[in-house]
Amino acid sequence: MAVIGDTSKFISMADKRIASVTDDSKSVTVSVTGTGEFSPIVSGYSSNSPIAVKTDGFEIERQSSLDRLSRAKSGWFWDYQTKQWHVKLDFGSGPEMMTKSFEVSGNS
């Protein structure tokens, strides 16, 4: 599994967007910075569909397309053709910057 970052930015892994990335043999955890006004979609690669995506210990909803994910407050999508996963977190409704983490779990 690999983290690509926020592909809407020229430098997709800039530390002002992606605060940290940690991994083990079964998952990758990404800390991302956003606001209620702008919640980035963070992308990555996995040869198989992730088993689950969690934030704060709770699974977030799998979306049926990248278009639906972009319209949702939060969720995740895995594209079987490109082998890319995409995650969007809900940063609330305020304008203040905050950092949230999510975990993408896959097969070892």
Instruction: Count the domains in the chain.
Output: 1
Number of Cβ atoms within 10 Å of the Cβ of 60? 20
CATH at residue 10: 2.60.40.1180
Question: From edge to edge, which strands make up the β-sheet containing 98-105?
Answer: 18-23, 27-34, 98-105, 52-55, 58-59
| pLDDT at position 72 over 70 | yes
Q: What is the pLDDT of residue 5?
A: 87
User: Which tokens belong to 18?
Assistant: 């992606």
- Give the Cα separation of 74 and 61 in Å (integer): 7
Model confidence pLDDT, tens digit, residues 82-105:
999 999 999 988 888 999 999 999
Model confidence pLDDT, tens digit, residues 25-58:
899 999 999 988 888 999 999 999 999 999 999 9
- Give the Cα separation of 30 and 67 in Å (integer): 22
User: Which tokens belong to 13?
Assistant: 């892994």
DSSP-derived secondary structure letter, 93: S
Strands 98-105 vs 84-88: parallel, antiparallel or unpaired = unpaired
Domain that holds residue 21: 2-105
- Give the Cα separation of 98 and 108 in Å (integer): 31
- Give the Cα separation of 26 and 84 in Å (integer): 17
